[in-house]
Structures are given as C-alpha cells and as structure tokens.
Structure 1
C-alpha cells in the first residue's frame, strides 16, 4: 500500500532522513562501504524519480534497503563475473607475456618499446613542433621547462 503522492520537498526530506539508516544497514550486511554508498545513491535516485508521482511506500526505509540491496548484489555479482572473465583470459596468455626480457637479451626492432614510442611521437597528424616537443619529453626524458628553454620560451 502506498500513500498518495507528495510534493518533491517532502520526498527529499524523507530521503535525507532515511539515507544514513539505509547506508548503515547495507554496510552492516555487506561490509563494502564504497559499494554500499553507490547502491544507496542509486536507490535514492530511483525513489526520487518514482515516489513523487506514484506515492511513498508504507515502509520507505524498507523499500530503500531492498532496492539498494538488490543494486549492491547486482554490482557485486557483476564485479565477480568480470574478475572471473579476466582471470580466464589471463590463463589463456603465455606466462611470459607480461615479463620484460633481461637487458642483455637482444630484442627485435619490432619489440623495441622506445622505437614504438618514437613512432607515436612523430605521428603525421601532429604538427612538427608538437612532434619535436613530445619526442624530447617522452623519449629524450627532458622536462617541460628544458624543452621550453630549447625553444627560447621564457
């Protein structure tokens, strides 16, 4: 059973009053403060959009807790599924895919990261001045102040 629609200010006051209680209930139940806070915000947005037109539920705090709990459960499941997908993808990659070879091991030019960076800095869409400045910064290791002095910028 819902109460008749109320003006938005009354709904806002009600939401402000119940928000800390809902957050406390979710943190106690799930233990994830940041995720609970996000879920409570989503529940408050849903209530702010729905309650002024459809009326306030008989137990607004319970409604908010239920909606926020469902949003939090969905978020935690989604995060868990994402993590499992990433771990499965990592198992498909060769073990040495993310390790750097020893410095004395010669590398093919196609594997030279510095050369790749140099090519990126000299992309034809960049102006020549930008290419030089970016190359000096990224590949040459110069600071912005040193590059400005080289261009005679005070």
Structure 2
C-alpha cells in the first residue's frame, strides 16, 4: 500500500468510526467493522482506484459489516440461551420428554398456543393446528381466508412465541398442588 493511500485511510478511520458508533452505539463492534472496511479498501483501491468519496465508501462497507457482526452476535446470544434452556430442562426430571404414564401433554400444548403474546386470532389458528390436528387449508376455510394467508399467520404466531421465549413446560406436581383448591 502506498503512503498516500495509507495516510488517507488513517485520516478517514476516526470519522468512519464516529459515524458507526453514532449510528449503532456499539464502540466495540464498530471498531471491528471499521478495521474490516479499511482492510477491504486496502485490497480494493490499489487495483480499482480510490473512489470519489472515500469516507462514504468506508462508511457503507463498515455499515454492512456492522450489520453482519450484530446479526452474528444476536444469533450467538440466541444459541447460548437455547443451550442454557436445554441444560436446565435436562436437570429438571419432571419436565423431561418422557412423562409419567397417564400424562397428557395436550393441555400444556393448549396453554402454549394461548400464550398472551399472541392475539386471539393467532391463538385460535395455532390451537386448531397444534392441538386440533387440522391442516392449514382446513383452518383457512374455517376462517374464510386463503391457505397462504393462514400459513403466514400460523408461522408468525410461532415466531412470536419464540420471541416471547414461550416454552413447552408441563406443570409440575407442585404447580398442580398450588392450583388445586384446598
């Protein structure tokens, strides 16, 4: 890399970093994104020439990398939470996948489908699908809508449950005892 390009990159780096930190509020990740934008410039510009507005080019590349880094960070965080929940479930023998004889998971599934994070229409559609065993086409006909619309509604309901961290957790004996009248 020639001295002129190196000087330009050193001069622009703080401005690019400032723009990304102002936009995203995450200094740690913004710094990594700027470094990657500078690296891309160092590899691209000698062959293709310096763009008309180098700062905008660096900010755009840094912005894209910042979005990638944030998505990756969020995905890693979700995976860690899922692993933690799975480990917790394995330590709770009453909530394992092999319930005691006579246990009916349909009540728990019904309660999950009626989670407060869902609106009434989504609750009904998801309940008919999961507990009632109806097909998406049958549910769509019952609601007077198209199958793709109902499929999207059910899919969004599942996504809302995931975002709300709703879990399929059957009540324990202690839960049942607390809910029973004395």
Q: Deviations over 1:32-76 (max 9, x none)?
A: 111111110110011011111110111100000000011111001
Q: Does 1:46 align with 2:40?
A: yes
Q: Does 1:70 align with 2:35?
A: no
Task: Tell me the SS of whatever aligns to 1:57.
Answer: coil
Q: Does 1:15 align with 2:9?
A: yes
Alpha-carbon distance in 2 for matches of 1:59, 1:94: 53
| Runs of 4+, deviation exceeding 6 Å | none
Task: Tell me the SS of whatever aligns to 1:93.
Answer: helix
Q: Which runs of 5+ in 2 are unaligned?
A: 92-182
TM-score (norm 2): 0.47
Q: Does 1:56 align with 2:50?
A: yes
Count matched residues.
91
Q: Which has the higher contact order (CA 8 A, sep 6+)?
A: 1
- Structure with higher Rg: it is 1
Alpha-carbon distance in 2 for matches of 1:16, 1:74: 24
User: 1:94, CA displacement in angstroms?
Assistant: 3.1
Q: Which runs of 5+ in 1 are unaligned?
A: 1-6, 98-154
Q: Give 1:101-116 correspondences, 5 Å limit.
A: none
Q: Deviations over 1:76-119 (max 9, x none)?
A: 1001011111111221123585xxxxxxxxxxxxxxxxxxxxxx
How much is the aligned-residue C-alpha RMSD, in angstroms? 1.5
Q: Give 1:58-137 correspondences, 5 Å limit.
A: 58-94=52-88, 97=91
Q: Does 1:28 align with 2:22?
A: yes
Task: Tell me the SS of whatever aligns to 1:94.
Answer: helix
Task: Tell me the SS of whatever aligns to 1:58.
Answer: coil
